[in-house]
Amino acid sequence: MQFQFLGCGDAFGTGGRFNTCFCVTHDVGRYLIDFGASSLIAMRKLSIDPNSIDTIFLTHLHADHFGGLPSLILDCQFYSRREKKLTIAGPPGLKDRLQNLREELFPGSTSKEPKFELELIEYQVGNSQTVNGITLTPLEVSHHSGAPSCGVRLEHEGRIIAYTGDSAWTEVLADLARDADLFICECYGYENPIPGHLSYNEILTHKDEFKAKRLVLTHMGPETYANRASLKFEGAEDGLVIDL
């Protein structure tokens, strides 16, 4: 199993990084975690074929985490000529928010059914479920997005990948990370807490609670990015590949 950061940036492009999007390649396919506004560009840069993706798991409905979906759907329909099903699993509210976003960005785009099957799943927060052979456990975190914001645990082929999504400190994050082979932890702030986000100092304070085999920081804001060389944890980079 291979994990790749297609984008590890914040909402504002700090350090010239793409919005959040992670790609997991496993024995029988590929899935993505989040799909920010710049994620289709990141896929093209890193030669990831949109048609190779089976499933997209969304943590929450902010532009830098799901805003690239309207472009992806059009790409699959008219450019990449997708034929197989694409499944998108996200929090309650996904179907309406995505419908509205598609119409706002590309008026009339929802009036024509795509030639491929587009399956939208609104997962049950707090409950595990299997989506295309992958066990998803979404746990609600502390981040306002107009719908539940979640961290996710994804289990497949004997591996566990956990990701905070965007969140202020909450004890749920320790549950999310426990026994994970890879724990992706947002780190927008540096010294001081920022509403709805973790800071580096908070992660240092709670590091012993995570109990994950490997921790990688992502979603760095300007101050964290400027101090990235001195961080005591591994930091993500666009394009970074991790073998699991």
d(CA 73, CA 56): 12
d(CA 43, CA 228): 25
Question: Does 28 have pLDDT greater than 90?
Answer: no
Model confidence pTM above 0.75: yes
Looking at residue 192, its pLDDT comes to 86
pLDDT in tens, 56-107: 999 999 999 999 999 999 999 999 999 999 999 999 999 999 999 999 999 9
Of 186, 187, 182, nearest to 165 (Cα)? 186
- The domain defined by 2-243 carries CATH number 3.60.15.10: yes
pLDDT in tens, 185-201: 999 999 988 999 999 99
d(CA 162, CA 153): 4
pLDDT in tens, 141-167: 999 999 999 999 999 999 999 999 999
Residue 84 contacts by C-beta under 8 Å, 6 or more apart in sequence? 51, 54, 116, 117
List the structure tokens of 117. 């099957």
Looking at residue 199, its pLDDT comes to 97
d(CA 89, CA 58): 6
Looking at residue 217, its pLDDT comes to 98
d(CA 176, CA 92): 19
E-assigned strand segments in the chain: 2-7, 21-26, 29-33, 55-57, 86-90, 118-122, 129-131, 134-140, 150-156, 159-163, 182-186, 215-218, 234-235, 241-243
